[in-house]
Homo-oligomer: A and B are copies of this chain.
Amino acid sequence: MSRLAPDTLTEPQQRILAFISQYMAEHDLPPTIREIQKGAGISSTSMVSYHLKALEKAHLVNRYERRSRGVVPARAAHAQLRDVVSVPIVGRIVASEPAPTPDPDALADAENTIQIARSIVGNGDGLYALEVKGDSMIDALINDGDIVIMRRTSEVNNGDLAAIFLTDRNESTLKRVYREKGGLRLKLKPENPNMKPFYVDARHAQIQGKVVCVIRRT
């Protein structure tokens, strides 16, 4: 949680901000100046206006000038920061096949989409989801029916859990990746601590994306 200098907010300003949020959670529409006045215990409408100017300057609220109920908390103002992100389920992952990668044209229709709280996955860019079939991913502690949220990227850091397509075996797998011997060799370590890591030639492995989150619904 990054807050913009909350300590510099006067106590009535904090009350106003809290009241607006509470009011919107309750009514799904912002309060009027006078409702703020009563609800936050401010003595006059001009005082509300006064405090609102300060909150606006601090980018904590957005205002539509001269419009009724035209004050909304800044967080709710831009749709980018919405609390859920829709991730398209682009296919199934099977050990014997390359993991599907996102088709840019694929529209995110409701049936093939999973909603994830943004607080879990962060930025929604480049995200796609795979449904795991069979128990081929058992050493990544992933079972039949699980949903894997992936972020498409070529760059992975040591220790990232990633989807790797092994060209010599012609199959995909989910492992923690560590570069060794100057990047010539990859150490692939199963998520399951009971299993031993193994090693592959970096030329025979291609990284398809990193795992952001694993979801198992029961």
Q: Interface range on chain A: under 10, 10 to 19, 20 to 34, or 35 or more?
A: 35 or more
The reply to whether B30 and A138 form a contact with Cβ atoms under 8 Å apart is no
Copies in the complex: 2
Which among B28, B64, B68, B83 is the interface contact of A84 at CB below 8 angstroms? B83
Is residue A181 contacting chain B, with contact meaning CB distance below 8 A? no
B29 to A84, Cβ gap below 8 A?
no
User: Nearest Cβ distance between residue A143 and chain B, in whole angstroms?
Assistant: 5
Given A28-B77, A120-B215, A161-B218, 19 other A-B contacts at CB below 8 A? Answer: A1-B110, A28-B30, A28-B76, A29-B64, A32-B68, A68-B68, A83-B83, A84-B84, A114-B117, A114-B119, A138-B192, A141-B143, A141-B216, A211-B218, A212-B218, A213-B216, A213-B217, A214-B218, A215-B215
Q: Report if A194 contacts B (CB, 8 A).
A: yes
Chain B residue at minimum C-beta to C-beta distance from A78: B28
Does A7 have its Cβ within 8 Å of any Cβ on chain B? no
Chain B nearest Cβ from A123, distance in angstroms: 14
Question: Any chain B CB within 8 A of the CB of A72?
Answer: yes
Residues in B with CB closer than 8 Å to A29 are 29-30, 64, 69-70, 72
Asked whether A171 is an interface residue with its Cβ less than 8 Å from the other chain, the reply is: no
A130 at the interface (CB under 8 A from B): no
